[in-house]
Structure 1
Amino acid sequence: MTEQTFDFRIVVEKPIAGAVYGLQKGSGKNYETFQKQEAGPGALVFDITLPAKRNKEGSVVLYGPFIQGTPQGRFLYLDIGSYAGQEEAPLSGRLKVPLPGISDEFSRETIDGWFFVAKIYGTDEKTGRPATGTVKPVDGWKIDK
């Protein structure tokens, strides 16, 4: 496989109202936040196209400035509050959203308008507190148009 791109959509249900959320590009202290959105009563939606290529073992690996983690454990960060540059933020932190592994089957299916879609919660369903840290997609990653 030559280089290919994949489209991803992250839907944040029940975000913390008034908090700014955004996709993190870069890591450590050298990062920027993109697609900043202030949460209201509805869900937030983040769309991103990520490049992929095969590694020496033949596996499809996502890469680029938005990607975090090892080749076997890729993820995206959603910055929240002051991490997203919001002054006087109601909270601060990051959501670590694990990305799916991409098989050859997905490589064929996701071309031409298909998205990998994940729904996550901005509020912990058990405690009602703001969600931070690693969040698992509610129903896993789905493929949708």
Structure 2
Amino acid sequence: MDIQLCILLQNPPAGVDFGIQKGSGNRYETIQTQRSDGLDMQFRLTIQLKNDPQKINEPRFSGPFVQGTPASQFIYIDVGEFAGQVGGWSRRVKIPLSGVTWDMITQLSHHSAACLTTSFPGTAKDGSPICATVKPFEGWKVDMLSN
């Protein structure tokens, strides 16, 4: 089953490139690269459900955007040079896939226009672009897609 993710990066610093990491290690590419103008940025991507509720307690995911171990999966947003920008920051933002429940998966399967949505600030306390694991991470919620 395909799972749609909608990620909202709130008010990241202007002039910095952000994009979704596809692949891992030295063999990755950054897609959906956007240069921030200081306003919210949105990313949409599709991951795959890897297992079923009869076999394991928590949903597990696969696909070229999913990083980490089965017990600690996440998505990367590349920042600055990691997103292909020349000069500036070289960072990644780690967005946990934790907290997704089988109830959420069931809701998604019943509504083709639904996605898992999360949002978080794009600027760190010191005014630089966010990096490392999103904290505090408020998790994912099921939301209807809008065009």
Question: Shorter-chain TM-score category?
Answer: 0.7 to 0.9
> How far apart are residue 101 of structure 1 and its match?
4.1
Q: Is the 8 A contact 2:5 2:44 kept in 1?
A: yes
The one-letter code matched in structure 2 to 1:98 is: P
Q: Measure the CA separation in 2 of the matches of 1:41 and 1:129.
A: 12
2:36 matched residue in structure 1: 39
Structure 1: tracts of 5 or more residues without a match: none
1:94 matched residue in structure 2: 92
1:118 matched residue in structure 2: 118
Q: Is the 8 A contact 2:48 2:63 kept in 1?
A: yes
Query: How many aligned residue pairs are there?
Result: 140
Query: Is residue 25 of structure 1 aligned with residue 59 of structure 2?
Result: no
> How far apart are residue 129 of structure 1 and its match?
3.1
Question: For residues 59-92 of structure 1, what are the alpha-carbon distances to aligned partners after superposition, in whole Å with 9 as ceiling and x for unaligned?
Answer: 431001111011111100000111011113x312
> How far apart are residue 9 of structure 1 and its match?
0.7
> How far apart are residue 120 of structure 1 and its match?
1.4
RMSD over aligned CA atoms reads 1.8
Q: Is the 8 A contact 2:99 2:139 kept in 1?
A: no
Structure 2: tracts of 5 or more residues without a match: none
4+ runs deviating over 2 angstroms: 55-60, 100-104, 126-130, 136-140
TM-score by length of 2: 0.86
TM-score by length of 1: 0.87
Q: Measure the CA separation in 2 of the matches of 1:137 and 1:11.
A: 15
Q: Is the 8 A contact 1:61 1:102 kept in 2?
A: no
SS in 2 for 1:107: helix
Q: Measure the CA separation in 1 of the matches of 2:128 and 2:17.
A: 16
> How far apart are residue 41 of structure 1 and its match?
2.4
Query: Is residue 79 of structure 1 aligned with residue 78 of structure 2?
Result: yes
> How far apart are residue 38 of structure 1 and its match?
0.5
The one-letter code matched in structure 1 to 2:93 is: L
SS in 2 for 1:74: strand
> How far apart are residue 136 of structure 1 and its match?
3.6
Q: Is the 8 A contact 1:24 1:79 kept in 2?
A: yes
